Chains A and B, each alone.
Chain A
Amino acid sequence: MDMRDFFAMGGYAFYVWTSYGLAFVVLAFNIVQPLLHKRRVLKRIARQIRRTRRTA
C-alpha cells in the first residue's frame, strides 16, 4: 500500500486526521488529568500525615 495514498485519505485528509487527532488528545487528557490529580492528593495527604506526626 502506498503511504502517500494512505495519508491523503482520498482527499478527505483534513477531516479524517483532525478527527483522529482530536480523539487522541481528548483520550490522553482523560488519562493525564487523573494522574496529576492523584499526585496532588497523595502529596496533600502525606503533608497532613507529617503534620499530625509532629504534633503527636
Chain B
Amino acid sequence: MFMRFFHRMASPPYFYVISGRWLPWLAVICLALILAGLYGGLVEAPADYQQGDSFRIIYIHVPSAWMSLFIYVVMAVAGGIGLIWHIKLAEMVAVSSAPIGASFTFLALVTGSLWGKPMWGTWWVWDGRLTSELILLFLYLGVIALYGAIDDKRRAGRAAAILALVGVVNIPIIHYSVEWWNTLHQGPTVTKFDKPSIHISMLIPLLLMAGGFKLFYLIAVLMRLRSEILERERNSKWVTALVGSEDRRQKTEDRVQESDVDPRRVGP
C-alpha cells in the first residue's frame, strides 16, 4: 500500500491535485507553530544570564541553519533519485528546493553575523563553521545558476543534481566544524547525545520555530513544484483541460464584474 502511494504520488497530475488540497492545511499549522514559537521566544522565555536578550536571535538563527542543511540533503537525495530512476518529480523537487535552501542559508549567515557582533565583537570570522556555511550558500547559488544556464530542462536538472550530489561532502564538515576546530562559534547545544544544555523554557520555542520552518519549506517547495509541473507538462491533456476550464471561468467572472458596473444600471 505504501509503494502504491509512492507510485501514484510520482504521477504529476495526481500530485498536482493532492498537493493543492494539502496546502491550506499546511499553511494553518505552519502559521500556528511560528506564532507560538515567536510568543514563546520573544515574550515567555527569560533573558539569557550571559547574553541578555540578544540570545533571542537563536529562534531565527538555529532553525534557519538546520533548514539550510536539511534542505541541502533533500535536494541532493531527490536529485540522485531523479538521476538514477529518471523520476521527473524527484528532479523537480531538487530544483525547486535550491532557492528555498539558499534563502535559509542566507538567513543563517546574516542572523549569525547580527548575533556575533554584540557577543563576539565581530561580524565575521573565517572559522570552520562560518566558512563552510558560506560555501553551502555558494553551492545553492551554483545549483540555481547551472539549472538556469541550460535550456533543455531535463539536461539542466541532471547537471544541477550532479553538482548537488558532489556538494554533499560539505554537510558533515559544517556539522562537525565546531568540534573539529575550536573557534568563536559555540558548540552544539541541542543536537548532541548528552542532555541539551538549554533550559526547557528556551528549548520549546526553538523546537516550535524549527517545526514551523520545516513546514514552511514544505509549503514553499510545493508551491514551486506545482508551477514547475504545469510548465513542464503544458502540452499534456490534463494541463490544458485544467487551465482551459479555469480560463473560461475567469472570463465569465470578468463579464459578471463588467455587468456589475453597467452604466445603464448605475442610475442617479
Residues of B within 8 A of A37 (CB): 224, 227
Cα(A56)–Cα(B42), bound, Å: 61
Question: Interface of chain B, helix or strand or loop or mixed?
Answer: helix
Q: Are A12 and B240 in contact (CB under 8 A)?
A: no
Q: Which of A9, A30, A41 contacts B220 (CB 8 A)?
A: A30
- Total interface residues on B, CB under 8 Å, equals 39
Given contacts A29-B103, A42-B230, contact A35 B60 (CB under 8 A): no
Cα(A10)–Cα(B56), bound, Å: 11
Cα(A15)–Cα(B57), bound, Å: 8
Selected A-B contacts with CB under 8 Å, 22 pairs: A9-B53, A10-B47, A10-B52, A11-B52, A12-B118, A15-B118, A19-B57, A19-B110, A19-B114, A20-B42, A22-B60, A26-B107, A27-B103, A29-B103, A30-B216, A33-B99, A34-B220, A34-B224, A37-B227, A41-B230, A45-B239, A46-B243
Query: In the complex, which residue of chain A has the Cβ closest to the Cβ of B234?
Result: A45
Q: Are A26 and B246 in contact (CB under 8 A)?
A: no
Interface flag for A48 (CB, 8 Å):
yes
Cα(A18)–Cα(B114), bound, Å: 8
Q: Are A49 and B99 in contact (CB under 8 A)?
A: no
Q: Which of A9, A20, A29, A34 contacts B60 (CB 8 A)?
A: A20
Q: Are A16 and B227 in contact (CB under 8 A)?
A: no
- Total interface residues on A, CB under 8 Å, equals 31
Residues of B within 8 A of A27 (CB): 103, 216
Q: Are A45 and B230 in contact (CB under 8 A)?
A: yes
Cα(A52)–Cα(B177), bound, Å: 57
Cα(A46)–Cα(B230), bound, Å: 11
